Amino acid sequence: MDDNDNIIYDPEEISDIKKLCSFINYFETVKPDKACRWKGGDTGKDGVIHMPYPVYENEFNKFIDAFYKTGLTVFNYQDELNRIIPDWQTADINKIIETADLHLVKTILTKCIRAERFHEGSWNNAIRSGLFLSILRRLQNLNNKI
């Protein structure tokens, strides 16, 4: 792949990436136990068991909101991941991100964001593994090539 394939020319996309990259410091410094804490998991007086669920801190929620306000969503992310990285479910995604082009980074980010809807705690895992940080650093690197 030619380096020019990764150059971002769309001013709106550049702006969107800068907004998300403003959260790099947050992900570099946040303590995972502060970013996400779990509630529930107890039995009420009526005997009903309340399933545990993650509660994310305000700054992290601002990051999620910022993503949804950008034009960086890849709506067919599942198909794209299967096409680009057939073994993505077992691959070292952090390693793949190091050399990913913009489309793949946006696809992986979309997958990470959408995963919480289907598997509570996915964001917690992405924070703890450094996945969000890796994605943002790669976006920043791609954005710096302009």
Q: What pLDDT shows up at residue 145? A: 74
pLDDT beyond 50 at 1: no
Contact criterion met (CB below 8 Å) for 80 and 114? no
Q: What pLDDT shows up at residue 81? A: 96
Strands 53-56 and 36-39, by their bridges, are antiparallel
Cα→Cα distances 119→5, 25, 41, Å? 34, 26, 16
For the segment 47-65, what is each residue's pLDDT rounded down to a tens digit?
A: 898 899 999 999 999 999 9
Q: What pLDDT shows up at residue 7? A: 67
Which region among 36-45, 75-84, 128-137 has the lowest average model confidence (pLDDT)? 36-45
Cα gap 86→134, rounded to integer Å: 21
For the segment 18-29, what is each residue's pLDDT rounded down to a tens digit?
A: 999 999 999 999
Structure tokens belonging to residue 118:
């289907």
Percent of the chain with pLDDT over 70: 94
pLDDT beyond 50 at 146: yes
Give the residue, 4 or 85, on which the prediction is more confident. 85
Mean pLDDT of 99-107: 96
- DSSP-derived letter for residue 119 is S
Domain ranges of the chain: 8-143
Structure tokens belonging to residue 104:
């793949």
Question: 53: part of which helix (H) or strand (E)?
Answer: strand 53-56
